[in-house]
Amino acid sequence: MTIAIIDYGMGNLRSVEKSCAKLGMSVELTNKKAHIAQAEALILPGVGAFGAAMANLKKLDLIEPLKEKLLADTPFLGICLGLQVLFEKSEESPGIEGLGVLKGEVKHFYSQKGFPREELTIPHMGWNQVKREKELRLFAGIPPAAYFYFVHSYIVKPLEKNIGIGTSDYGQDFIAALEKGNIFATQFHPEKSSPWGLKILENFSRMVMLKKSE
């Protein structure tokens, strides 16, 4: 089983690779179209700006290969910016199209009605609980009061409301994790979230193995 970690120059890739290796996961850090096409699963991490991420993916000619894999129901885990680029657009980079495999957009915290900007600093940085209403595949074995590490200024606003599987609170509730088919994504950083973050990666790996055995 090979999981491709997509190397598109948007930071934090090595941390994700090391966390996966610590769990014994078979991963490959790559930006090669052929490797991505052959991979049994994909991880798209990212730290930085929406527009720069899409520009880098376009420069590497990875946008269409990535979309093809996502539409083919390949297990996928997006992390932070890797979550945001799944959507159609972002306030961070007006006029720049995202991958568009999920309908909706990415909004700044300050765009949210009632956000207490006088009280809270942006970016949101630190440990927060992720609340879930039921046991979910990505959070299997993780206690409901577990904390995860966030660094972000933007939040996702899906048109499909039922795909949000976890929320957190910073001034108001926002989507911290989502699931649609074999697409999973987190606004927090599992690779920086100690044992429960590693459990997220382990759960994803287990789902990849189950998918392979089908």
Q: Which residues are known to be catalytic?
A: 80, 189, 191
> Closest by alpha carbon to 168, among 139, 197, 124, 129?
129
Phi, psi (deg, nearest 5) at residue 74: -70, 135
> Closest by alpha carbon to 22, among 169, 159, 182, 202?
202
State how far the Cα of 176 lies from the Cα of 173, in Å rounded to an integer: 9
Alpha carbon 5 to its chain centroid, in Å, reads: 12
164-169/124-129 β-pairing:
unpaired
Q: Across the strands, what pairs with 174?
A: 168
Helix, strand or coil, per DSSP, at residue 166: strand
Q: Answer yes or no: are the C-beta atoms of 16 and 5 closer than 8 Å.
A: yes
3-6/27-30 β-pairing:
parallel
State how far the Cα of 164 lies from the Cα of 119, in Å rounded to an integer: 26
